Each structure stands twice: as structure tokens, then as C-alpha cells.
Amino acid sequence: MTDNPWWRGATIYQIYPRSFFDSNADGIGDLTGITEKLEYVANLGVDAIWVSPFFESPMKDFGYDISDYRKIDPIFGSMDDFDALIEKAHAFELKLIIDQVLSHTSDQHAWFLESQQSKTNTKADWYVWADALDDGSPPNNWLSIFGGSAWEWNETRGQYYLHNFLKSQPDLNYHCPELRQAILQEVKFWLDKGVDGFRLDAINFCFHDKQLRNNPFKPKNERKNRGFSTENPYAAQYHIYDNNQPEILSFLQELRELFDQYPSIGSVGEINTENVLDSVYEYTSNRRLHLGYSFELLADEGSPEYIRQTVETLENKLDGGMGCWAISNHDVQRVVSRWGKKDGDPQKAKMLSIMLASLRGTICIYQGEELGLCEADICFEEIQDPFGKEFWPEFKGRDGCRTPMPWHGFSANAGFSNAAPWLKVPEAHLKKCVSSQSKDANSVLNTYSAFLKWRKQQLPLIIGDIEFLPSSEHVLAFVRAYEGSRIYCYFNFSDTEQSVSIPLRGLTEIVLSCVNGAYQDGHLVLPPYGIYFYRNS
């Protein structure tokens, strides 16, 4: 393991800071709150934490609209609080990676405030500006993910600017060399602070087509698979000109050259393109990013066959590289609701989380996943997410997966805050709180934590190869192998008992508290959402 980079095969715990723990009773989680709960995170058995944006921001998109890359937003604390966080994380032997949003800024960023003033100022080309068409309409048909045109008219400058997300999130112009150098300096600032890596948000949006060509339209049967509902007009286009341009690859090499000047840095890019698995390969080959993070397992489809095809396809492309997988995050419905029933079966929650952590790759775990939390229902009057406000009720936004962590079940705020939280804690989450599950040896929390700690000792599960095995429609089966040691993994995705024929000659069962299948007369019998591991002796 000494030659294996820390990020390769690691388990990374994603923290959404405003919903993790509130240390100062203002209803919003903060950096000190994360620091106070690091012992809990370390005890889970994870290797690193990924902290979603905590930088200065007007919070139109809850921190993904940065107004100053080098400042901590006061609602999250101070730079001293960040220094204390990274020091304590390292004391617990946790790596710390931060979420950097490099494709766009807030319209309150000093760069944009200057850029909009004229076509000749020193930052005039730092954002994507374009003249109106002869009839005054936007330059082309590009759309914003959050609704409407991707172009917004700016009266001061007398031009349109590009925004792939909210109109308050103008896109940076990476065709400008000065802008690219400035961004590298912003990244260097945090490297010098001692972070261990970066999750790079929406990294494929950094470059646009310089000719501003129109995107072609999709037939209705293809308007899916990129994490956008079919009701969203964004799904009606092939997005081949507004992002994922070939120039991004040379910039990623520049980023990697910067990372390589520091010891043990890991980087993972969030990639969402028309051919995402191809893009993951391109973005991580030839000394670019270390890992590519895609939405393929964050989709609505979650069958064994879909997971097998997705992982196998990427494995065949990477040629020795490694994927990065997640089944929940701050942008999608929680997995036990997305791939199951609304209330979330605890056994299914165990099975899905352990399945994810058994795949070949680096694993990202979203806070609350270790508790088996279900998606929360948010009424329209309480919704905070601008994405949800735009497309309600067909799409209810992302608030349902962003509700505060339930630390204990004996107060309305579940121990998250002494003040009214920014989003309510659902009643259904109180019975799944940390304090209750900590006392139950068979809880989702304790089962998952025991597995992650055991996983740390199993080289086949961390860096081994993967080969999928024949099984039934409802069972996902594969073997992980490293230097002659082979671990066989079976997962029942159904709510009924499943039987799979397997040879056990010369094999020895792995005894784990989470293993609840049984071998009988040449068959493996898996109860509903059952799990089984065995390996060669």
C-alpha cells in the first residue's frame, strides 16, 4: 500500500457544510461544526472528506456562486476556522479535499464587476461576452440548466454574457490566457493552505465553442441520462458546443502540472457530457485529472444490469486507470428513495452502500447515506433551491437531499442546531438519527462502518481488478482480485429471496456481520437485499 496514492480506491465522505452541524445557533452549519464532528466521520472508516463550497458568496446557488475564491463566507466562519478544520482532519488521518467551482463565478465577483464595465478594461475578456443578433435576440440557442436562455443582457456593457447555470453565475472565458493564469493562482492559494486535493465542480463547462454555433436538438426518446428531467428544455439539445470543448484537455494538463508541485494531491473532476464515460477517460489520461466523477450511477436507473454495463464500459476504456463512483450527492434524490421505496428499507440501504464500496474505484459517500436516509418532502412554500422553484412541481429541486443531519431524535432540530434550521429536519429522519443507530449493532450506521473498516484491510477491494460474474436478473455479482487473492461479492437487489448457483470448491467464507446470505448444496441463497462475500483459501 505504500506505493498506492491515497486517493486510489479511497472512500471519500462528502460534507454539505450548511446541513452538517451548526456550532453557533444561526440555523446554518459551519466549518467549526464540521470540526466538532470529525471524530464521528473518522470513526466511520472513511479516508477523506470532501467539503462542498464554503467560500464568500451571495448564496444564490448556496455557495456554488463564488464571489471571492480566497475568502470564507461569514456564515461558515473564518480562515482561522478553516485552519483548525484541516489541522484536526489531519490529526484524525483524514485527507481534506475542497469543492472548487472553476467554470463560473458569482456576478458579485470583483472580476465580473470590472469586466462588465467596458469592452476594453483589463478583465474585459475574462467572461464570455457576445453581441446580440440583428433582431436583438441572444447570440445562439444555448440554454441554461436552470431554465431559459443561457444568455443574459447586460445594459452597462451593451452585450450578452453566458451563464450555463443561474443568470447570477456568469461563465468564465477560458480562451483568455490571463484568466487561466488567474485561476491557477486561486487553486495554488488553497494548495499552499495544505489541502489534499480538489473536487472540481462542472469542470467540463470551462470552455465553450468560440464560433458560438447552435446546439442541435434531440429526439424525445433521447432526452435523458444526463441528470436532467425530460421536462427541462435543457434535455432537448445535444450540448456539443456550450461545453466539453477540446481545449479543456490542455488546461487540465496545466492544472496537473500545478498539482504535481505538491506532495500527494488528488483531484476529481465532476464530468457531465453527452458521452460521459469517454470524457472520463479523456479527462484522466495523459497526466490530467486523477479521477473523473460522473452522474452515471446517480441516475434513476439502478438495476444490476445497468450498474454492470456502466462499470464494465468505463473499465474497458480506462486501461488501468480508476473510476470514481457515487450513488448519492447534494444534487440528486437520495438513493434509497431513487432506487427503492420512499421510506427506505434499512437492509436495502446497507446493501446499496456496501455494493458501492465494493466496486473498483474511488468511492464518494454523501452525508446521511451511512444512516440510510430517505428523500425528504419539501413543500413549495419552504423550498430554497432556485432549480426547484423554476421547474416545480414536475421537478421539486434538490432540497430533499440537503436537509440537516439528524444527530439525535429527541428535539425538533435533531441536534443539528439550537435555532430553526435553514431547512426542516423531516420527521422520518428522527428515527434514523446517529444517536439511535449508534446503539444498535445491526443498524445501517454500524453495519456500514464495520464494513468500511474491514475494507481498509482488503487490498482486492481497494486496488484490485474487477470481473463481473454470471448471475440472475436481480443479483449483481463480481470478483475483485489482487495478487492471487480473490474476493467474490454478491448483492440481491430485490425484495424477494434469490438463489444463485456458485461453485465453492477450495473457497472459504468471509465472516462479516453484514453478510446474510447462505451457501446450500451448490447454491447461494440471498434473502431480500442480501449480501454475501467469499474468497479463495
Cell for 37?
464532528
Q: What are phi and psi of 151, to 5 degrees?
A: -115, 135
Distance (Å) of CA 217 to CA 209, 271, 378: 17, 21, 33
At residue 512, the 3 state secondary structure works out as coil
Do 41 and 94 contact (CB within 8 A), yes or no?
yes
Residues annotated as part of the active site: 201, 270
At residue 338, the 3 state secondary structure works out as helix
DSSP state of 245: -
Cell for 280?
472520463
Distance (Å) of CA 524 to CA 99, 215, 295, 488, 503: 42, 51, 32, 12, 9
CA–CA gap between residue 415 and residue 209 (Å, rounded): 49
Q: Of the candidates 15, 53, 57, 54, which has an alpha carbon nearest to the alpha carbon of residue 36?
A: 15
CA–CA gap between residue 429 and residue 343 (Å, rounded): 10
C-alpha count within 13 angstroms, C-beta hemisphere, residue 134: 0
What dihedral do alpha carbons 224, 226, 232, 238 form, nearest 10°? Answer: -80
Q: What is the largest CA-CA distance in the chain?
A: 79
127, amino acid identity? Y
DSSP secondary structure, 314-334, as one string: HHHHHTT---EE-S--TTS--
Q: Which helix (H) or strand (E) holds 207?
A: none
Cell for 524?
447461494
Strand partners, 531: 491
CA–CA gap between residue 527 and residue 537 (Å, rounded): 25
Tell which phi-psi region holds residue 213, choosing left (phi > 0), alpha (psi between -120 and 50) or beta. beta
Cell for 256?
496537473
DSSP secondary structure, 64-105, as one string: SS-SEEEEE-TTT--HHHHHHHHHHHHHTT-EEEEEEE-SB-
Contacts of 112 (CB under 8 A, 6+ apart): 105, 106, 126, 127, 170
DSSP state of 411: S
Q: Which helix (H) or strand (E) holds 307?
A: helix 304-318
